[in-house]
Structure 1
Amino acid sequence: MVEDNITRINLDGKEYILIGTAHVSKHSAEQVKEVIEAEMPDSVCVELDEQRYQTITEGAKWKEMDIIQVIKQKRASLLLMNLAISSFQNRMAKELGIKAGQEMIQGIESAKEVGANLVLADRNIQITFSRIWGNLGLRGKSMLLTQIITSIFSHDSISEEELEKMKEQDTINAMLNEFTESFPKLKKPLIDERDQYLAQKIKDAPGEKVVAVLGAAHVPGIKEEIKKEQNLAQLNAIPPKSKWPKIIGWALPIMIVALIVITFFANPNAGLDQSISWILWTGSLSALGTIIAMGHPLTILTAFVAAPFTALHPLLAAGWFAGLAQAYVRRPSVKDFETLSEDVFSVKGFWRNKVSRILLIVVLSNIGASFGTFIGGADVIKTFFENF
């Protein structure tokens, strides 16, 4: 049996066999099958949580999704990012003629075949996202979104050999070090904390011999963390949100309204100019985002009208109104939900599918309104100081 990418650990009378895999690789899936059948473990741990396990075994239940509820529950951005990341991984898998996550599927199937306990060892992905997002400032969030979207829509191809090279620990660590130079706060929740969580779940798996199917990036960390006791409750906790975004969210619109009102009393013409500037900047840029997403004319108008008001209310967003308007005039059909997972393979498909287009409208309209708020707000402040 080939021992490449396999790490053996003996600890407290138990043997742990860690298989470092690439998440899109034929060889990884074959190696998982070979190791489990040869070792006949008591338990097989896979790097999945319950949500991803259901998706990978049952498929994403797009038909059951209510796009209106997605918008109302403020989940459009998260869903769009999940779709985009899934698109990137699936496109790579399709290029190589395999199924994304095949090594995890193989781990699940092989565990059943040898009668081993199946352990879903990863932390809930929503908790990980929450801890990642909470650790990034506005600049970090913008940079991360830009980098993810750029990589998703890149048409550069990757060979099976290049994927296998990515599994070498030195290459993985070098890649992570380079990535975390731009996002130093990202490595802790994305890699370090999950190393700790995975290590404890593997350690707690029943039996004396445990095989763990893992992304290669986690193997070095798990080798160290498995020697310690980890606090799963603490790793599962969602950190409290900072009060500053809420304070700023209310303070900014109050200041804008106050400056316009004061200017009106001192110079009605200047106050009118401020109001027009605010409406044009917020409304136009939100409408521009909707145009880029190829929204219906009524949707574009909705974004333009809603943005000047929603920008003054932290609990509202122009994109929600634009998305609801688009869903009303271009309601997705059953076919759109059925073809969603295939359509998101390409940029063209993202815009063609009515479901993903609505999500794009929500996100791009909100981004446009945000830029409009800063530019329009700066113009309001400038006009105020010119008159006092």
Structure 2
Amino acid sequence: MNQNITKIEVNGKEIYLIGTAHVSHTSRQDVKDCIDEVKPDSICIELDEERFEAFNNPKRWENNDIIEVIKDKKTGYMLANLILSAYQRRIAKKMDVQAGQEMIQGIESAKEIGANLVLVDRNIQTTFKRIYRKHSFFQKLKLISSLVMSIFDDEDISSDDIESLKQSDALDVALKEVSKEYPVVSEVLIHERDQVLAYKIKNAPGNKIVAVLGAAHIPGIKEEIYKTYDIKELESIPAKKPSAKIIGWIIPLAIIAMILSLFSINSTLGWEQVINWILWNGSLSALGVLLAWGHPLAIIVAFIAAPITSLNPLLAAGWFAGLAEAFIRKPKVKDFENLLDDVNSIKGFYKNRITHILLVVIFANLFSTLGTMIGGFDVIKNFIQSFL
């Protein structure tokens, strides 16, 4: 057996774990050789339904309706997915290979030998949302910034570098570094998925199973596959804490109550505070859209919407600004066709109307949140001073 293939026995089943690099020249051949030799009953691949569909429909981005993406509150998810897809595609281009060839080989081999094809990864939206829910506001800002900047990192990666990723010791070092910077990301993206993958692999039909996996998961799966897990919990999206929902309403209501109290003391002071609230929220949200090079109408919409949406946890200024941007600058067919190429540069990010709209939504929301924090502090300060 190839050194990148691990054989283990669980519950009377022979399981072969193939550790691959998703942009490696040799990983596809590793998969083909192992399947030809083992002739498994089931072939497991590290994909979920959504990414499996992506392999069958490479031009899936062309079917997206950006307005529906905004309405469904999926702008952050779409942006993260685009960045990750483009990053992997860029490395694959440097390596002169097509990303995900080892997964494609697993799919083709399953058809050739009549084996069960089992998709064993967790839904990617669930993974993203679990990461998002477990970070504070400022941690989210840091994480988003790191994610965006990663696509503009033009560091050369050699074939030897890619192949070395298959060595467990190198992976251990890499994971330790990730854990230091973003321990929650490491927990959700690697360790939780190790558990999900292990559970689904050992429960795949048949007595001989071949699993095609990213090499980073092999050490964890070897350890986790002998344990039992609550798969429903691992594949669920953590609900917001009741306290968070309550606070989400208490803070806006408290701000409104304090402003009304200022009116009862001094109407001039009350109107002054209303104006300050509008200026802080509206101006900063509008500034966010301006930094995203949004259309003047989108800037105006953000300015008007932010002071209102900041007082309603169910609404966000970015949604309205993004819809205005999408209405004025409707994406064209070429925007969808060039999407994955354009996200590899700052210029392309702003040039492509789809990513441009996503930036408008995200920047408007981020700066509106900042405006809420500053404006809220201003209200509290004046409220306290009025009673001193």
Tell me the TM-score range normalised by the shorter chain.
over 0.9
SS of 2:184's partner is coil
> How far has the Cα of 1:347 moved from its partner?
2.2
**Distance in structure 1 (CA, Å) of the matches to 2:228 and 2:256:** 54
1:220-240 CA distances to partner (integer Å, 9 max, x unpaired)? 111122223444333223332
**RMSD of the TM alignment (CA)?**
1.8
Equivalent position of 2:220 in the other structure: 221
Q: Which residue of 2 aligns with 1:151?
A: 150
Q: Bigger CA drift: 360-369 or 233-242?
A: 233-242
Deviation string for 1:154-213 (max 9, x for gaps)? 222222211222221112122212212233333333222221221122112233321111
2:385 maps to a residue whose letter is E
Deviates more, 1:306-315 or 1:132-141: 132-141
8 Å Cα contact 2:122/2:235 also seen in 1? yes
Farther-moved stretch of structure 1 (354-363 vs 272-281): 272-281
The alignment covers a number of residue pairs equal to 387
- 2:366 match: 367
Q: Which residue of 1 aligns with 2:252?
A: 253
Identity between Structure 1 and Structure 2 (%): 53
Q: Which residue of 2 aligns with 1:201?
A: 200
Output one character per residue of 1:260-297: Cα deviation in whole Å (capped at 9) or x when no partner. 22222223333233222211111111111111111111
SS in 1 for 2:233: helix
Q: 1:309 to 1:231 in 2, by over 3 A?
A: closer
Whether 2:62 is the aligned partner of 1:77: answer no
CA distance in 1, matches of 2:12, 2:260: 74
Report the CA distance between 1:362 and its aligned residue. Answer: 0.5
CA distance in 2, matches of 1:256, 1:231: 42
Where 1:241 maps in the other structure, the secondary structure is: coil
Greater mean alpha carbon deviation, residues 279-288 or residues 192-201: 192-201
Supply the distance in 2 between the matched residues of 1:294 and 1:366 (Cα, whole angstroms). 15
**Contact 1:90/1:345 (8 A) holds in 2:** no
SS of corresponding position for 1:7: strand
* Cα drift, residue 50 of structure 1: 1.0
Q: Which residue of 2 aligns with 1:354?
A: 353
Partner of 1:135: 134
CA distance in 2, matches of 1:11, 1:380: 62
Counterpart in the other structure of 1:174: 173
Structure 1 residue runs of 5 or longer lacking an equivalent are none
Please give the secondary structure, in 1, of the residue aligned with 2:26.
helix
CA–CA separation in structure 2 for the residues paired with 1:158 and 1:243:
46
1:286 equivalenced with 2:288 (yes/no): no
**Structure 1 231/380 Cα, relative in aligned 2: closer, same or farther at 3 Å?**
closer
User: CA 1:234/1:316 → structure 2, altered by over 3 Å: closer, same or farther?
Assistant: closer
After superposing on structure 2, the runs of 4+ consecutive aligned residues of structure 1 that deviate more than 4 Å are none
- What residue number does 2:118 align with? 119
Instruction: Give me the whole-angstrom Cα distance separating, in 1, the residues matched to 2:240 and 2:153.
Output: 34
What is the CA–CA distance in structure 2 between the aligned matches of 1:24 and 1:270, rounded to whole Å?
Answer: 62
Shift of residue 52 of structure 1? 0.6
Q: How does 1:61-76 map to 2 (within 5 A)?
A: 61-76=60-75
The Cα shift of 1:133 comes to 2.2
Aligned to 2:16: 17
CA distance, structure 1, for counterparts of residue 64 and residue 10 of structure 2: 45
Secondary structure at the residue paired with 2:30? Answer: helix
Match of 1:183 in 2: 182
1:327 Cα deviation from its structure 2 partner: 1.1
Shift of 1:60: 4.3
Residues 57-109 of structure 1, C-alpha deviations (whole Å, 9 max, x = no match): 22242232221111111111111111111111111111211122222112212
- Normalised to the residue count of structure 2, the TM-score between the two structures is 0.94
Partner AA of 2:53 in structure 1:
Q
What corresponds to 1:33 in structure 2? 32
Contact 1:267 / 1:387 at 8 angstroms: preserved in 2?
Answer: no
TM-score normalised by length of structure 1: 0.94
Q: Deviations over 1:298-357 (max 9, x none)?
A: 111111111111111111111011011111111112222232233223222221111111
Provide the secondary structure at the position in 2 that maps to 1:186: helix
CA separation of 1:254/1:229 partners in 2, compared to 1, >3 Å: closer, same or farther? closer
In 2, Cα distance between equivalents of 1:229 and 1:255: 46
